[in-house]
Structure 1
Amino acid sequence: MEHAFVYKRWVGIFLLILILTEIIWSWKKDKKVYQVKETFSNLAILFGFQLSKFVFAGYQLAVLSLSAMLALFSLPRNLLVFLLTFIAVDFVYYWFHRLSHRWKPLWAFHLIHHSALSMNLTTAYRLNWFSALVSPLFFVPLALLGLPADFIVIAYSLNLLYQFFLHTEAIGKLGPIEGIIDTPSAHRVHHGSNPEYIDKNFGGVLLVWDRLFGTYQPETVRVNYGITTGFISHNPFRLVFQGFIDLFKGKLNAKG
């Protein structure tokens, strides 16, 4: 437990250094990718999301652990099985992410992430505080198939950590790996409200799923960030609950 805390602390320091570096880059290059109100809103949402991890950690582990107990067999714990788990988690994440854009109840959770009008590293953690209620359910089939529950958790955590580095305008296109793995360019497309960019590039780490299922789109024109219905608020509480309010009122539109 102590080693995990130390690891998380150093990861947090590293990510903070990257954010400060991006802020300096934006200021020196006059890129204006950081807006003061939105940045503070993102940080407030991040703080609430970190608290929610403590609230829902037991529930998440219970869902996957129970599923693992119901599995008919268990795969061995080795590097090959971890790699298999990582790929399987990325595949499930693709469909979870895609469904989160197409099905209104899930879009109510995900809307907050796409409501930002700027693209920077703090946007990565613009996450709904209650998303942990639904995300573990999508990975239950993997546990039932015998993949170790802790491998699933680690693979999903690495998947989300990788995506942190995609939320930036500081990195352009990356040549031959575009369309194979997710890149900042591909993820900028995903956050676009341009008609040609809506509901594209759902992959977490691999974009081969988007290639296979017809949702891949390279970055061709300047991205307009945000959702198609426009600006919501800088109030973190309103951003977290707006999707649920609109869903209850019957006014929620999925991104596409």
Structure 2
Amino acid sequence: MNTNNIQYYFAGIVLVALVIEIIWSKTKNKSVYNLKESLGNLGIFIGNNIMKPISLGWKYLVFGWVAEYHFFSIPTNAFTIILAFLAAELGFYWYHRLSHETPLLWTLHHTHHSGMHMNLSTAVRLNWIGAFVSPIIYIPFVLLGFSPEILIICITSGLFFQYFLHTEAVKKLGFFEGLFFNTPSAHRVHHGSNEKYIDKNYGGTLIIFDRLFGTYQKETEKVKYGVTTGFYSNNPFKLNFLPLVEYFKGNWKREKQHIKENENTLDLKN
């Protein structure tokens, strides 16, 4: 099976899952889709696919250049592939966490979180610039000697897994929640603008690093999706670039700052 066939195979799985979720939402009368928002998600997805050859080439360029200065030579075998997967997961956790805790990176990640609904189309709501910034977090692992190709495969497979986390069709998974792998319930929490849910559950495929670093939160109350400032836009260009413009104008804050300001305002009124 060549690379193109593999891509078509995974694209087919993604499309079938989307159709199944739409049918589920209609038959169960679930308001998980909004036409304008879904069209905005589609526009962002198209933009990312147009730039995909460039962003993927950029990853290979960065990793290839850094690999020339690697400290060790790590052979590729079953054990080191598992280690590379764990390294990719650790890198994703910290990049994801910094994307919430650092205002500049939040301007990029805000695109993904500004959706007011949770469905599989939300998974492809990814900032166009972010794909060029995220490789930087994985540079230490390339310097250690991990294969750039294996790391890219691990990162890509992790993103594929995360696609299926963006749904309300899968309820809590009992004892499986918070055990080892990330779940739709845990990721719904991550997308919540509820105060107790903000800056929680950063994991990609795994949830173990959230457990380790104290950022795990169970789904205990109904999730309010979107950002604390409410509806932002359905325009793909505004969703990708307006937060960055606001940042350089000095009008940008991360979620916890908004909550703190609202609390201070209420205190003054009282």
> TM exceeds 0.5?
yes
Q: CA RMSD in A?
A: 1.0
| Superposed CA offset, 1:160-213 (max 9, x none) | 111000000000011122112210000000000001100000011111111111
Give the TM-score normalised by the residue count of structure 1.
0.97
Q: Report the secondary structure of 1:196's partner residue.
A: helix
Residue identity matched to 1:38: E
Q: Does 1:30 align with 2:57?
A: no
Write the distance in 2 (CA, Å) between the matches of 1:3 and 1:243: 40
| Superposed CA offset, 1:107-146 (max 9, x none) | 1110000000000000000000111221110000000001
Q: Which residue of 2 aligns with 1:178?
A: 177
Write the distance in 2 (CA, Å) between the matches of 1:53 and 1:179: 33
Q: Report the secondary structure of 1:118's partner residue.
A: coil
Q: Which residue of 2 aligns with 1:211?
A: 211
Q: Which residue of 1 aligns with 2:54?
A: 55
Write the distance in 1 (CA, Å) between the matches of 2:75 and 2:128: 34
Write the distance in 2 (CA, Å) between the matches of 1:37 and 1:171: 24
Counterpart contact for 1:128–1:240, Cα < 8 Å: yes
Q: Which residue of 1 aligns with 2:247?
A: 247
Cα shift at 1:5: 1.2
| Superposed CA offset, 1:55-92 (max 9, x none) | 22222111111111110221111111000000111011
Q: Does 1:106 align with 2:105?
A: yes
Counterpart contact for 1:167–1:187, Cα < 8 Å: yes
Q: Which residue of 2 aligns with 1:116?
A: 115
Q: Report the secondary structure of 1:202's partner residue.
A: coil
Q: Report the secondary structure of 2:255's partner residue.
A: coil
Counterpart contact for 1:52–1:130, Cα < 8 Å: no
Cα shift at 1:226: 0.2
Write the distance in 1 (CA, Å) between the matches of 2:66 and 2:35: 44
Residue identity matched to 1:36: L
Question: Which stretch shifts more, 135-144 or 56-65?
Answer: 56-65
Cα shift at 1:229: 1.1
Q: Which residue of 2 aligns with 1:169?
A: 168
Q: For structure 2, which runs of at least 5 residues remain unmatched after alignment?
A: 257-270
Cα shift at 1:248: 1.1
Counterpart contact for 1:108–1:247, Cα < 8 Å: yes
Q: Which residue of 2 aligns with 1:153?
A: 152
Query: Percent identity at matched positions?
Result: 46
Q: Report the secondary structure of 2:187's partner residue.
A: helix
Q: Report the secondary structure of 1:223's partner residue.
A: coil
Q: Which residue of 2 aligns with 1:237?
A: 237
Q: Which residue of 2 aligns with 1:88?
A: 87
Question: Which stretch shifts more, 3-12 or 144-153?
Answer: 3-12
Counterpart contact for 1:64–1:149, Cα < 8 Å: yes
Write the distance in 2 (CA, Å) between the matches of 1:58 and 1:171: 35
Q: Which residue of 1 aligns with 2:190?
A: 190
